[in-house]
């Protein structure tokens, strides 16, 4: 049995990735922090996809809570290990920088960037011992080109891209690949308040992407077919015009 952990797996892109990995035969650990009802919905969808999964509750921004939850799972499943880690959890708190409150800055940084550190540091140790692993970090086009009103989000996702490159060099010799995905405008709760009609004018394909399209890329990066790809950030934007 192959195991995959998807943080922020209760909805949106995270949910789509959970379902796709279940279709590929993974036992998916669906991380969530508060909305158990949505997480249960994702779990039901993974089971429909053909593979048993389970919920694992912890706040990625809290190192002690993250370590405790993952280590408990590992102790309960001594012969298993998390072969695929998808660092997907993230939040937005948009505002122009002069009006951005410290809470908005720190919330976004702690979830996306500290969350990457907290989860990856805990999971990667057994990957190293097993000499195999796939780490997929959810970045954003915001981290590639910067978007107004998202200094906090752009900073977090830009740092994720840099960390992806650095970590890939640290663990490549252990047969662990580390890559990032940088989505553009994808139809999820996070983009539901945006003016889609206006924004899609700046996208070559003329539409927002679907979460399932991002999930297809994540599943490819998790597979043996992507064994020679590491340290890369792959944008999936529909041809967003910078």
Q: What share of the chain is helix, strand, coil (3-state, %, to 5)?
A: 50, 20, 30
Name which residue leads in pLDDT, 44 or 147: 44
Q: Which H/E stretch holds residue 166?
A: helix 151-171
Instruction: Indicate the pTM of the whole model.
Output: 0.94
64/9 Cα distance (integer angstroms):
20
Q: Decide if pLDDT at 51 tops 90.
A: no
CA distances from 72 to 4, 25, 57, 58, 66 (A): 16, 23, 11, 12, 10
Alpha carbon dihedral 42, 142, 155, 158, in 10-degree steps, equals 90
Confidence of residue 242 (pLDDT cuts 50, 70, 90): low
Q: Could you give phi then psi for residue 166, rounded to 5 degrees? A: -65, -45
183/214 Cα distance (integer angstroms):
7
Residues annotated as catalytic are 153
The answer to which of 156-160, 193-197, 199-203, 214-218 has the lowest mean pLDDT is 193-197
What mean pLDDT is reported for the chain?
94
Alpha carbon dihedral 35, 156, 150, 217, in 10-degree steps, equals -70
Grouping H, G, I as helix, E, B as strand and the rest as coil, residue 236 is: strand
Name which residue leads in pLDDT, 1 or 84: 84
| pLDDT at site 194 | 67
Name which residue leads in pLDDT, 116 or 206: 116
Q: Could you give phi then psi for residue 231, rounded to 5 degrees? A: 75, 10
Q: Which residue has the tokens 């379902």?
A: 19
């Amino acid at each position: 049995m192959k195991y995959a952990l998807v943080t922020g797996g209760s909805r949106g892109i995270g949910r789509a990735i959970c379902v796709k990995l279940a279709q590929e035969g993974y036992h998916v650990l669906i991380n969530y922090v508060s909305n158990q009802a949505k997480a249960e919905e994702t779990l039901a969808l993974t089971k429909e996809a053909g593979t048993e999964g389970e919920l694992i509750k912890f706040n990625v921004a809290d190192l002690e809570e993250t370590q405790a939850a993952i280590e408990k799972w590992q102790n309960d499943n001594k012969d298993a290990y998390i072969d695929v880690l998808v660092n997907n959890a993230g939040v937005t708190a948009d505002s122009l920088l002069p009006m951005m409150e410290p809470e908005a800055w720190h919330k976004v940084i702690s979830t996306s960037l500290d969350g990457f550190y907290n989860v990856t540091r805990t999971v990667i140790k057994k990957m190293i011992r097993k000499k195999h692993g796939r780490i997929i970090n959810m970045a954003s086009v915001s981290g590639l080109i910067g978007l107004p009103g998202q200094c906090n989000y752009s900073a977090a996702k830009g740092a994720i891209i840099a960390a992806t490159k650095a970590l890939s060099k640290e663990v490549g010799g252990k047969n662990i690949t580390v890559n990032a995905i940088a989505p553009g405008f994808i139809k999820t709760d996070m983009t539901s308040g945006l003016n889609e009609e206006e924004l899609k004018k700046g996208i070559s394909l003329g539409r927002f992407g679907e979460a399932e399209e991002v999930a297809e890329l994540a599943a490819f990066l998790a597979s043996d077919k992507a064994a020679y790809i590491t340290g890369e950030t792959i944008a999936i934007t529909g041809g967003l015009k910078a």
